[in-house]
Chains A and B, each alone.
Chain A
């Protein structure tokens, strides 16, 4: 078995060695073959599990999060009938449902969400109806392996000791903050992780790296900053960290799952 650890959202899943993990936009897919990522693939190894994280800083109750999730999904898939039931896995609680798709699709769709502290994980399982006996036990086993470890090793740190999300590369601060007058005091890292996932990462990693969080303005949040901000202290070193969402398509739309760059000022 292979253990997948999501260093940003802070969860792990165990899947069979011959299965594949693949990032699909802002979700993580688990399939027996890459062909299974194709819509309506009906080979003998069809079936996929998609897992996506959501940042729920407001601690919104599970029901409205679920209603939004299920409404979007049912609308997109043209589902005619949706029923839901409580779902609990370890310390995480949530809801799950079989979504009845139009008959012509010949697909089974199951979905569920689980909430743990400020994180909501969205699960979606799809496979051809006739593959259920074969694939469902595997997918159930993968989902049941969900854990939220207190620490996930593997994150790197900046020279100042600030944890950095994976895949983030140092860039000229002025390429992101065009109006700063003291670029020598700023550091900037560019990457493509969602701003919600970054906040989950920093809230977990900051205290582990012995930084004290003095202020936190979440995004989205009531501060209307347009980005997430953390003020951190370690001894005499103070860092103002910003997670700045951007619109990769240039359509002017920023959402809670928009990718974000990381900048910080050292004082």
Chain B
């Protein structure tokens, strides 16, 4: 399945050439959960703090489906 990903604040460093909120696509196995996407992007476990799926706050064990838009945010963005 294919999902759209948006990384924010310091998480942008996990995608070459990315800017905060710029969407890109990721191809994942069927029945993936958000943690699978985090692993795919090689983001360390403690770096993601807020996960939005289609604009709703979800958890790392939430299931993904084709076409989902996933936003990820670190523990503290800005300061």
Contact = CB atoms under 8 A, between A and B. Distances in A.
A217 B76 CA distance: 6
Closest 4 CB pairs of A and B: A215-B78, A223-B79, A207-B55, A215-B77
Given A208-B55, A213-B8, A218 B20 contact: no
Interface of A: 59, 117-118, 150, 203-204, 207-208, 212-218, 221-225, 229, 231, 233
B79 A214 contact: no
A64 B21 CA distance: 34
Contact of A229 (B6, B59, B78): B78
Given A212-B21, A214-B8, A207 B52 contact: yes
Nearest to B58: A117
A73 B6 CA distance: 42
B78 A117 contact: no
A218 B75 CA distance: 9
A212 B55 CA distance: 9
Contacts of A229: 78
A217 B78 contact: yes
Interface of B: 6, 8-9, 20-21, 49-50, 52, 55-57, 59, 71, 73, 76-79
Main secondary structure of the interface of A (DSSP, over half): mixed
Contacts of A225: 79
A116 to B, nearest CB: 9
B71 A216 contact: no
A215 B21 CA distance: 11
A221 B75 CA distance: 10
A84 B52 CA distance: 33
Given A203-B57, A208-B55, 19 more contacts: A117-B57, A118-B57, A204-B57, A207-B52, A207-B56, A212-B21, A213-B71, A213-B73, A214-B77, A215-B78, A216-B9, A216-B50, A216-B73, A216-B78, A221-B76, A221-B79, A223-B78, A229-B78, A233-B21
A58 to B, nearest CB: 8
Contacts of A212: 6, 8, 21, 71
Contact of B71 (A207, A217, A224): A207
A233 B19 CA distance: 13
14 contacts: A117-B59, A118-B50, A203-B50, A207-B52, A207-B55, A212-B21, A213-B77, A214-B20, A215-B8, A218-B76, A221-B79, A222-B79, A223-B78, A233-B21
Given A59-B49, A204-B57, A207-B52, A216 B21 contact: no
Contact of B9 (A214, A221, A222, A233): A214
B52 to A, nearest CB: 6
Contacts of A203: 50, 57
